[in-house]
Amino acid sequence: MMISHEERPMTTSIRRGPVVVSLAAVAALLLSGCTAAQTERRLNAEHGGAVAECPWGADESVTGTIDLGYQLLPSGDLIVRDQQVLETCMPNADIRWTQYASGAEVVQGFGGDSLDIATVGSSPAVKALSVPLDLPVEVVWIQDVIGESEALIGAEGITDLEDLRGGSVGVPFGSTAHFSLLALLEQEGLSDDVTVINLSPDALLGAWQSGEIDAAYIWDPTLGELEADGGTRLVSSTQAAEIGAPTFDLSAADSGFAEENPEAMEQWTRAQDWAVQMLQDDPDRAAEILALQMGSGTETVRRQIDGTGYLRAGEQQEQFFSGPLADALIDTGDFLDQQGEIDAPADPQHYRDAVASSAVEEVAGG
């Protein structure tokens, strides 16, 4: 039986059969377990793998399991994971991380009730909120504003968008790259003259090298591989934003989980804000951490950081959570509906209600 988040609160009490254990033994077990976990985090910190202590004060009241989904993107989320910030700041919680290959997979994870918080692009996030899925999720953080880190790369002989007329482009369907590509093709009057093919990031390189596609809209590391193979950068998500189609990497939370666990949401948001501060103030260190997590070269990741916008909680609240983010979700829903990517957009108020700003406001306030 599928158990909803409402039916499995994060803090649980499990009844077992009668077990006789001395209080001294229980205390010893608890102390040894706590000491072992703290020792492991301290040793990791000494070797550059984790923070030694919570940067703002740990919350020991948060217990239970928190299921987090991440993607291999140059985002603060990967820094939080690498540095074990959540494990340090919520020492009595069980933090479980699961990797997802795309936003579409993340949406499936929410639909299968296996996620509490996860990174997802703005396009798949809108799909999750729209008909027919209409999942109980809400946007709680902007991981990044996508710019030069996602781009359309042309194969040999393709030097501008017009060269794609009658050709084909590979892109992972349902991704932010897919949304940007469709917007740019429509802007150039090429929507009916270019064949768009659904290819995963792993499959794109092979299709490119075999000549099956004329271009690809993708992110690193595949983006860098295509450019190294002689590809020409035609346009990027920066240009898509300029024509009114901005894209984001967002973090979404299960609505029931977020409502029932405000303390966990605050700790999670503070961790993300801490990671963004590193991206802004010490991008070289951030690049080293992200390169290890992503399996990419440090220089490649450093270039991605330069081509991406990262905002702290106060900046997010002022620039996006105050209204523009909801407007972007509404516009994305309308566009996806026009492209046949969803059955129907939700009511505009539904998208506005899905922008949850309480934790962002709390962290922005200090």
Residue 249 in 3-state DSSP?
strand
The answer to whether the 52-145+247-365 and 150-243 domains have the same CATH topology is yes
What pTM was estimated for this model as a whole? 0.79
Q: Phi first, then psi: give them for residue 344, nearest 5 degrees.
A: -170, 145
How far CA 112 is from CA of 64, 116, 156, in Å, comes to: 19, 11, 42
What CATH architecture applies to the domain 150-243? Answer: 3-Layer(aba) Sandwich (3.40)
Query: Alpha-carbon distance 76 to 350, whole Å?
Result: 28
Condensed to tens digits (0 to 9), the pLDDT of residues 72-121 reads: 999 999 999 999 999 999 999 999 999 998 899 999 999 999 999 999 99
Rounded-to-integer distance, Cα 350 and Cα 326, Å: 9
> Among 274, 283, 289, 277, which Cα is nearest to 306's?
283
Hey, what are 337's tokens? 């509906």
Residue 85 in contact with residue 54, Cβ under 8 Å? yes
How many CB atoms lie under 10 A from the CB of residue 133? 17
- For residue 136 the two structure tokens come to 């109980």
What does each C-alpha distance from 222 to 91, 102, 151, 217, 293 come to in angstroms? 37, 14, 11, 10, 16
pLDDT in tens, the chain (366 residues): 222 344 444 433 222 233 333 333 333 333 344 444 444 444 444 445 689 899 999 999 999 999 999 999 999 999 999 999 999 999 999 999 999 988 999 999 999 999 999 999 999 999 999 999 999 999 999 999 999 889 999 999 999 999 999 999 999 987 889 999 999 999 999 999 999 999 999 899 999 999 999 999 998 889 989 999 999 999 999 999 899 888 999 999 999 999 999 999 999 999 999 999 999 999 999 999 999 999 889 998 998 899 899 999 999 999 999 999 999 999 999 988 988 889 999 999 999 999 999 999 999 997
DSSP state of 191: T
Instruction: Tell me how crowded residue 16 is: count the other CB atoms within 10 A of its CB.
Output: 5
Q: Which CATH number fits domain 52-145+247-365: 3.30.465.10, 3.40.190.10, 3.50.30.30, 3.20.20.70?
A: 3.40.190.10
Domain ranges of the chain: 52-145+247-365, 150-243
